[in-house]
């Protein structure tokens, strides 16, 4: 019996976008389980709490039993090792993403022998979408339909309506 193939898909997911969902669904075609790991970045002030982001992610994948959502602090590579994974999944939108991700992948490889990073290109319909851009558009009342899951769209509308 072969060991379960586990991948870790890290990010802030503040909020999760349809591009993230696409990468996650495609990852499930390659791995038995995917752990979506919410990075708790002390340098960023997130719009949504970790618990809200966890729920948005779970809702966006329809409660798929092969997807686990967790949060972590500290070095990604240490988290990946604790989870027993051998692969980190990252989505790439543009050349600028690659440069940064390339550096991270090499550092992670140096720190965690036997841990690889795979890059999945975002679909052409989502390549320009980022969580930051979605929040900015939503903050000013713009329509984010089709950029984020429906539940996230409602949460963005509610959050910015409350803050107005």
* Domain boundaries of the chain, sorted by first residue: 6-163
Token pair recorded at residue 105: 């992948």
Say how far apart CA 131 and CA 18 lie, in whole Å.
10
What sign does the CA torsion over 35, 19, 30, 86 have?
A: negative
Instruction: Indicate the fold that domain 6-163 takes in CATH.
Output: Rossmann fold (3.40.50)
Say how far apart CA 71 and CA 35 lie, in whole Å.
10
Cβ–Cβ under 8 Å, residues 15 and 56? yes
pTM for the structure as a whole: 0.93
What is the reported pLDDT for 1? 36
Q: Which of the following is catalytic: 33, 54, 131, 135?
A: 131
- Annotated catalytic, 93? yes
- Annotated catalytic, 131? yes
For the chain, give the DSSP string. -PPP-EEEEEE--TT--HHHHHHHHHHHTT-SEEEEEEE--TTS--SS-HHHHHHHHHHHTTT-TTEEEEEE-S-HHHHHHHHT--EEEEEE-SHHHHHHHHHHHHHHHHHSTT-EEEEEEPPTTTTT--HHHHHHHHHTT---BTTB-HHHHHHHHHHHHHH-
What sign does the CA torsion over 133, 138, 143, 146 have?
A: positive
Q: What is the pLDDT of residues 115-160, one digit of tens each?
A: 999 999 998 888 889 999 999 999 999 999 999 999 999 999 999 9
What is the chain's pLDDT, residue by residue, as a tens digit (164 residues)? Answer: 356 899 999 999 999 999 999 999 999 999 999 999 999 876 778 999 999 999 999 999 988 999 999 999 999 999 999 999 999 999 998 777 888 899 999 999 999 989 999 999 998 888 889 999 999 999 999 999 999 999 999 999 999 987 66
- Annotated catalytic, 44? yes
- Annotated catalytic, 113? no
Token pair recorded at residue 164: 């107005």
Say how far apart CA 132 and CA 60 lie, in whole Å.
18
Average pLDDT, the chain: 92
Say how far apart CA 54 and CA 76 lie, in whole Å.
18
What is the reported pLDDT for 164? 60
Percentage of the residues of the chain whose pLDDT score is greater than 70? 96
Q: Which of the following is catalytic: 93, 109, 123, 159?
A: 93
Q: Which of the following is catalytic: 12, 20, 33, 60?
A: 20
Q: Which of the following is catalytic: 4, 5, 44, 106?
A: 44
């Amino acid at each position: 019996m072969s060991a379960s193939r586990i991948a870790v898909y890290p990010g802030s997911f503040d909020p999760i976008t349809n591009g993230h969902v696409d990468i996650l669904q495609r990852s499930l075609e390659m791995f038995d389980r995917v752990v979506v790991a919410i990075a708790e970045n002390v340098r960023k002030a997130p719009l949504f709490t970790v618990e809200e982001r966890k729920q948005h992610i779970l809702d966006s994948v329809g409660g798929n039993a092969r997807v686990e959502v967790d949060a972590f602090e500290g070095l990604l590579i240490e988290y990946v090792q604790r989870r027993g994974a051998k692969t980190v999944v990252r989505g790439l939108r543009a050349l600028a993403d690659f440069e940064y991700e390339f550096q991270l992948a090499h550092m992670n490889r140096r720190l965690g022998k036997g841990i690889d990073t795979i890059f999945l290109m975002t679909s052409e319909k989502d390549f320009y979408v980022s969580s930051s851009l979605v929040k900015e558009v939503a903050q000013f009342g713009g329509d984010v339909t089709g950029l984020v899951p429906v539940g996230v769209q409602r949460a963005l509308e509610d959050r910015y309506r409350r803050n107005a």
